[in-house]
Amino acid sequence: MSYHLIDVLERLGTPRILVVGDLILDRYVWGDAERISQEAPVILLREERQDTRLGGAANVARMLVGLDATVDLAGVIGADLDGRELSLGLQNSGIGTRAVFPDPSRPTTTKIRFMGRAQYRHPHQMLRVDREVRTPLPPSFADQILRAIRPRLSDYSAILVSDYAKGVCTPELLRLLIMAARQAGLPIVVDPAPGADYRHYQGATGVTPNRSETGKAVGREIRTVADALSAANTLVERFDLELVFVTLDRDGIVLGRRGTEPVHLPTRPREVCDITGAGDMVLATIGVGLAAGVDPVDLCRLANVAGGLEVEQIGVVPISRHDLLQDLLHGVRAGREKVCRLDEVARQVSARRKAGQKIVLTNGCFDLLHAGHVQYLEQAAREGDCLIVALNSDASVRRLRKGPDRPLFDQEHRARMLAALEAVDYVVIFEEDTPHAVLRALKPDVLVKGGTYRDEEIVGREVVLEYGGRVKALGVTPGLSTTEIVRRLRACESPVSLPRPERKAA
């Protein structure tokens, strides 16, 4: 599934997204925690440094920027130093703040985390201090936010609501915002506050509650995946939702959909360093995907990867598309995924180039896959980071006059055999007599060919050299060729064997 998700990632585009919710400043105090205070039996933290990060709805916005979205933010901050620091962080991140207003009656919501390290090990959170006011926004501020949002709704591809129960997401603001989004045909997804009344989210496109929040919303504990599947159905039906994404930490995500049975999308195990920000990362990934029209099942798979990468970090760290790509490139590759259309491979190659990978391509009929092919393809793979095999179609093989009964195996069988090899990353079938069209579309860094060719005899050489690529002949395994193997089989001769490698002296 990793190859398919790479393709999904390449089709996300650069949507413009509105984030509404509670803005938080996360302050981290890092230090050494090896001593015990002489004043009381408590750990003494010797401060080494401080840093601040965007939190809450501001963190969702920052995560979206990391996913190459253009983002505007709506909410309030205090008229204080923390508010100025938060505003500066938003500006430095390229986040639009025309709908962010100062409220002199409340402080900027700030979470101060004390991070202690002992014996040179990874730091851990020792204490968190919150500075906040949770009273609902006065109606005047809610009106001000709505007046700033409404004229620009047509600019957005999606709206995300990050409700941390700090007073911004009032029932009236949510009702009017959801109504405006539906009238504009925009998907609107809410990350609900713990213990929230889900009637306030009624009519939204979707919600992203975690295990605990889901249990409180439906009035029963979510212990198993089956519990989550049932709860997702309940939320969809009870609150007029199209989608419910129940995040289950190590168990992945359960997706509830209106009119369809809920499904469970598992995730692979991760080394959990810090769960802070994982929910925001999942919300941001879902927002970008919905804006791009990605299927909800694929959204869950991509969100699993993004959330998994986030929990491997210490503190809130934005996960970029590059991070997602690198993780997907190292995922398990299923053989059936490797056989792709040319346009699909082109998108995959584009993604791999962004990751700095070197692309190698070879082509041929591969009519009867044998040990010589395997050795040659393994050698070709060592020329770069990604090996593409351009495979002649059945019609193309016949035009090459390989014989009246060739190919022995049809193109689907030949492609599946090649895709089963670990050395091969992609197989693309082409109909033409030459691989020229494939080479122009993919522009591999290296074109290789096995057999008794010299570099100047390799078909497609002029195409590759024209754009600055390299051509290399890899030779042939002695005593092995498809034509010779077919001849021996028909003559019922003895089995073909590879020359034994010489043993090195001990």
387 vs 93: CA distance, rounded Å: 37
Hey, which residues are catalytic here? Answer: 280
Beta strands 253-257; 260-265: pairing state: antiparallel
Determine which helix (DSSP H) or strand (DSSP E) holds 349, and give its type and residue range: helix 342-354
What are the start-end ranges of the E strands in 22-109? 23-36, 43-56, 70-78, 96-103
Q: Report DSSP state, residue 340.
A: -
What strands lie across the sheet with 359-364, from one edge to the other? Answer: 426-430, 386-392, 359-364, 446-450, 470-475
Q: Tell which residue, 74, 143, 86, has the closest CA to residue 111.
A: 86
Tokens in use for 373?
A: 């092919």
84 is in an annotated binding site: no
13 with 292: CB under 8 angstroms? yes
Q: How far is CA 6 from CA 266, 308, 322, 324, 349, in A?
A: 18, 16, 11, 9, 10
User: What backbone torsions phi and psi does residue 159 show, to the nearest 5 degrees?
Assistant: -125, 130
213 is in an annotated binding site: yes
Strand partners, 280: none
212 is in an annotated binding site: yes
Annotated binding site: 210-213
Annotated binding site for ATP: 210-213
